[in-house]
Amino acid sequence: MRTKLFTFVLGKRVIFSKPKMPEIAIEMGETPNEFQLKNPPNDGISSVKFGPNSSQFLLVSSWDSTVRLYDIVANNKRMEYFHSAPVLDCCFHDAVHSYSGGLDNTLKMFDFNTNSGTTVGTHEAPIKCVEYCPEVNVVITGSWDSTVKLWDPRTPCAAGSFSQPDKVYTLSVCGDRLVVGTAGRRILVWDLRNMGYVQQRRESSLKYQTRCIRCFPNKNGYVLSSIEGRVAVEYLDPSPEVQKKKYAFKCHRIKENGVEMIYPVNAIAFHAQHNTFASGGSDGYVNIWDGFNKKRLCQFHRYPTSIASLMFSHDGSVLAIASSYMHETDDAVDIPQDSIYIRNVSDQETKPKA
């Protein structure tokens, strides 16, 4: 059984006035262009990541202490390796190497060609985030020990440790910049080519704990989500003129009998070609947003349980959706099986409307 990641109460009942939502387009129903992957993890799914130049291979980390490589075209599990504790995140370095970390405090590298793994290094507390930055050729880890570490994949070895103001909850690469979200609603922007100082220190524009940060493919800014059903669109340029463009909106909320259920927004994923993004919440829904025009493009059918992770393939043709209960409440019964859905997405669902 998994322990809770955080100690707050999720999915709580709160009565709100009618939420101010961005303009809403048509809701999309269930379609035949979606299927489930066979042999999903045996416990909660923490991360799904596509290969850097392929829509075929998907890396999945899990609370069952495994990292699995799936071939989504053949719908089979190609490979699997283990940590000694639950794995909280993973990433591809290139087509044949992955990195992963979790509650064992250990960063592992795995070579799919040789089917062998290597311990690269450790943190003093669990590793929450693992990302690769191709522009600088470094692997980045963020930990609950309040540090970010850089790792040189050529060796592989540690290339530096950098203190953060609190536990690292999420991070995202934006070209050669790194955006880090920590406890205490702090946001830090680092220059990966000069980690001697913090480029920007910010406070989240959302009132509650940060859950996810993902950067725009055009590198102009980032989107962050929080536990109280809100998403914020932020811009990196600190000039007052650009900062006027930032905004936040309510989402992943369900109103029943005059009571609004508020759900954490756990996952954000960008479409690299269209600069639109998907959000996934503990309400079991996936929404597609046009962040620049402040519109919701569509909403998929409701999935069996919380959306724990999302990722578009590099060409934007496929969206991987992890439906995995995240223990938001203590009294849940008949918890659905953890599942990974593969959805072939269309321009109608993901392209900004003219």
Tokens matching residue 101: 């970390």
Q: Which residues contact 131 (CB under 8 A, 6 or more apart)?
A: 91, 139, 140, 171, 172, 173
What is the CATH code of the structural domain delimited by 13-350? 2.130.10.10
Greatest extent of the chain over all pairs of C-alpha atoms, in Å = 59
* pLDDT tens readout for residues 167-225: 999 999 999 999 999 999 999 999 999 999 999 999 999 999 999 999 999 999 999 99
| Domain range summary for the chain, segments of one domain joined by + | 13-350
- Report the alpha-carbon distance of residue 180 to residue 90 in Å, rounded: 17
pLDDT, one tens digit for every residue, the chain (354 residues): 443 333 333 333 333 333 344 444 444 444 579 999 999 999 999 999 998 888 999 999 999 999 999 999 999 999 999 999 999 999 999 999 999 999 999 999 999 999 999 999 999 999 999 999 999 999 999 999 999 999 999 887 788 999 999 999 999 999 999 999 999 999 999 999 999 999 999 999 999 999 999 999 999 999 999 999 999 999 999 999 999 999 999 999 998 888 999 999 999 999 999 999 999 999 999 999 999 889 999 999 999 999 999 999 999 999 999 999 887 776 666 788 999 999 999 999 999 987
Residue 180 near residue 190 (C-beta atoms within 8 A): yes
What are the pLDDT digits (tens) for 153-164? 988 778 899 999
* Cβ atoms within 10 Å, residue 56: 15
